[in-house]
Structure 1
């Protein structure tokens, strides 16, 4: 089979973890939480939330970008979360 015709196997969403990095009182974080919760519930992916006000390293790294979304530890999005793009990243 030609290398151009090979397909990379799709991820299994259940093997993925989405991390929302935000802070209390952030309306964009609230919007991101709704999208992440909905998409992860739909696809069976796990998700967690981290508060930058409780972690100096996260605060230093992401303060100007929150909310930040990681998929399996790699930065996926910031400020706004596109549900279609998140589904694709999770293999859905």
Structure 2
């Protein structure tokens, strides 16, 4: 899994649910891309967090880059790499 443990510390945040196949695929791709770029990422589980469940409902996984929503359902590798190339 990723580190650091806090979403505020990571450049990429993946909001996910337990037993979500799309979430697993997205996390794997984010992990690979961040390993290549040296950026940090973290997984935030929304189950058990009513505010996050209400906010993201069935759009998970939802990916944020630099605090802004980037993608949902799937991670587009080209778009993510492009976003991470900018600060």
Fold equivalence (TM over 0.5): yes
TM-score of the aligned structures, taking structure 2 as reference length:
0.84
User: Gaps spanning 5+ residues in structure 2: where?
Assistant: 1-9
- Which residue is 1:88 aligned to? 82
- Which residue is 1:71 aligned to? 65
TM-score of the aligned structures, taking structure 1 as reference length:
0.79
| Cα deviation, residue 90, structure 1 | 0.4
Mapped partners of 2:48, 2:38: distance in 1: 28
Mapped partners of 2:37, 2:64: distance in 1: 16
| Cα deviation, residue 54, structure 1 | 2.8
Check the 8 A contact 1:52/1:63 in 2, yes or no.
Answer: no
